[in-house]
């Protein structure tokens, strides 16, 4: 419940809630995620896939759009496909917020990727807003959910 309250505060822009420092094992997981994402963005899905939970409630709402994948049997091939969409990539990220409490954790960040798409020779840029949720399973952090979108500018009301 604490994680949900903190995420709600962060998304609402509240600054009154002071986040405690993250445990070292969660910070280490975030470093592994960063390294594995660069591998994914250079055509190698394996390291990123290794960080995911295999539980049936695992979900992926990827930055390329489409449906929300649920369960490892749907996420696994989607990540393989994603790896084919990138080459010669570099990336940076800005962490907006992250917190771990008990067996749940989250990170909210901006990701900036420069890459060459399939069949192209020119580098393109893509910026994402990302939320990832983690769960400790058998003593190890696992990625439980990732949501990414390119909706980085405020949209006017309809």
Indicate whether 126 belongs to any domain: yes
Indicate whether 96 belongs to any domain: yes
Confidence of residue 17 (pLDDT cuts 50, 70, 90): low
* pLDDT single digits (tens) 54-111: 999 999 999 888 999 999 999 999 999 999 999 999 999 999 999 999 999 999 999 9
Confidence of residue 153 (pLDDT cuts 50, 70, 90): confident
Indicate whether 77 belongs to any domain: yes
Residues 66 and 59: beta-carbon distance below 8 Å = no
Please tell me the predicted confidence (pLDDT) of residue 11: 46
Least confident range from 9-23, 38-52, 62-76, 85-99: namely 9-23
Indicate whether 11 belongs to any domain: no
Please tell me the predicted confidence (pLDDT) of residue 22: 83
Q: How many domains does the chain have?
A: 1
DSSP 51: T
What's 81's domain CATH number? 3.10.450.50
Q: What is the mean pLDDT of the chain?
A: 88
Q: Domain span at residue 133?
A: 24-149
Closest CA relative to residue 107, chosen from 47, 39, 51, 45:
51
Indicate whether 90 belongs to any domain: yes
Indicate whether 115 belongs to any domain: yes
Indicate whether 13 belongs to any domain: no
């Amino acid at each position: 419940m604490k994680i949900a309250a903190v995420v709600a505060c962060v998304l609402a822009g509240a600054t009154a809630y002071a986040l405690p420092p993250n445990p070292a094992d969660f910070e280490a997981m975030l470093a592994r995620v960063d390294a594995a994402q660069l591998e994914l963005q250079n055509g190698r899905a394996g390291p990123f896939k290794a960080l995911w939970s295999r539980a049936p409630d695992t979900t992926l709402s990827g930055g390329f759009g489409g449906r929300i994948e649920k369960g490892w049997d749907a996420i696994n091939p989607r990540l393989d496909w994603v790896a084919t969409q990138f080459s010669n990539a570099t990336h940076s990220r800005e962490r907006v917020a992250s917190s771990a409490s008990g067996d749940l954790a989250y990170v909210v960040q901006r990701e900036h990727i420069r890459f060459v798409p399939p069949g192209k020779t020119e580098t393109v840029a893509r910026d994402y807003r990302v939320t990832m949720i983690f769960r400790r399973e058998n003593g190890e952090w696992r990625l439980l959910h990732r949501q990414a979108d390119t909706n980085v500018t405020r949209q006017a009301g309809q």
